[in-house]
Structure 1
Amino acid sequence: MSNDFYTSSILPHAGIIIKICRAYTDSQEDFEDFYQETCLQIWKSRDAFQNKSKWSTWIYRITLNICLTLSKKKKRRGNNFDILHEQSEKNTAFKDESLNLLYDAIKKLSEVDRAIILLHLEENPHKEIATIIGTSANNIAVRINRIKKQLKILLDGKIN
């Protein structure tokens, strides 16, 4: 991957890549693997981008697809050691404890709901979220309300 491509095309969107990867991983090592794989796939598939959507929308889609794929692979490969390790590791990705709690709650959501709320937290319009997820804007609005209620329950109980 050329440094120019990374600097001009990936780095401006690194924030969302980081947030999505963080929401689908439980350890720094996994986060780094997910982030690196996402950047690699963006670079490999850059010529496939057809300008039918915004570049940022395309980045979201690739990042979500990579995170979902790697999460599924990790679950299939998982063994008891991985499960014990993940359960004992506390999320300390952010200095702000409330952000760590929020991410812990987000990790309890289904994979699709996780993606929707992350996109919503990035202040993407419902129409763009619908395009990325592959549903209608009305469906996204309803799901966001349900997700917020789930998160409130989880956060009020300090997540279990």
Structure 2
Amino acid sequence: MSFAPLAPEFVELLNEHQPQLRRVARLYCPDADDRQDLYQEIVLQLWRAWPRYEARPEAKVSTWLYRVALNVAISDLRRRTRHPAADRLLGPAALPEVPVPPPEGPDPDDLAELYRAIARLSDVEKTFVLLYLEEKTYAEMADILGITPNNVRVKMHRVQDKLRQLLTHPA
């Protein structure tokens, strides 16, 4: 399978939103190599979906990016937990040329502790934390997640309480 070159607008969009996409990968994939693979899969799925979005944008581009990235990350997490041996059997895919920044540096201790606590949350709870850390408003979270802003408030409060518990009483 061959891929067409990436559109300059798409590459610009990737460069602009790369930190957010990498944070999605970081929350759902603790291993650095797997995280890079997940990031590449997110980019691939965004690229495949780009023509449909470009032809008929139904949401803000950042909302669309988050929806695709979160769906890919959650699907990847479920696949890895169901079939961990399958990862070793898959060969490299023919991906389009994507600009890749230098690898991430090591996390400070406090950030590592926070990520360990976040890793113990459910997939849905992780999504709320990610959007909160991205400083999304409740209205934006509601739009991305397809729920009401009031439901976001309730769920966000519960996630924050659970995270506080995990940070004060680590197992």
TM-score by length of 1: 0.85
Compared CA separation, residues 75 and 103, structure 1 to 2 (3 A) = same
Q: Residues of 1 paired with 2:52 and 2:8: CA distance?
A: 18
Q: Which residue of 2 aligns with 1:141?
A: 153
Q: Contact conserved, 1:116 with 1:133, CA < 8 A, in 2?
A: no
Q: Deviations over 1:9-57 (max 9, x none)?
A: 1111111111111011121111011000000111111011122211011
Q: State how 1:55-74 maps to structure 2 within 5 Å.
A: 55-74=61-80
The CA deviation at 1:6 is 4.9
Deviations along 1:74-120, one digit per CA (max 9) or x if unpaired, are 111126xx9xxxxxxxxx96432111111111111110111011101
> Is residue 28 from structure 1 mapped to residue 40 from structure 2 by the alignment?
no
Q: How many residues align?
A: 148
- The 1-side partners of 2:167 and 2:31 are apart by 21
Alpha-carbon contact 1:93-1:100 (below 8 Å) kept: no
> In 2, Cα distance between the equivalents of 1:7 and 1:94?
27
Whether 2:119 is the aligned partner of 1:113: answer no
Q: 1:15 to 1:70 in 2, by over 3 A?
A: same
- Tell me, yes or no, if structure 1 residue 52 matches structure 2 residue 58: yes
Q: Which runs of 5+ in 1 are unaligned?
A: 83-91
Q: Residues 151 and 93 of structure 1: is their aligned pair in 2 closer, same or farther, counting only changes over 3 Å? A: farther
Q: Which amino acid is 1:115 matched to?
A: T
Structure 1 stretches of 4+ with a deviation exceeding 6 A read none
Higher relative CO (Cα under 8 Å, sequence separation at least 6) belongs to: 2
Could you give the per-residue CA deviations for residues 139-159 of structure 1, whole angstroms, max 9, x where no partner exists? 1111111111111111112x3
CA-atom RMSD in angstroms: 1.9
Larger Rg: 2
Aligned to 2:141: 129
Separation in 1, partners of 2:133, 2:30: 20
Amino acid at match of 1:62: V
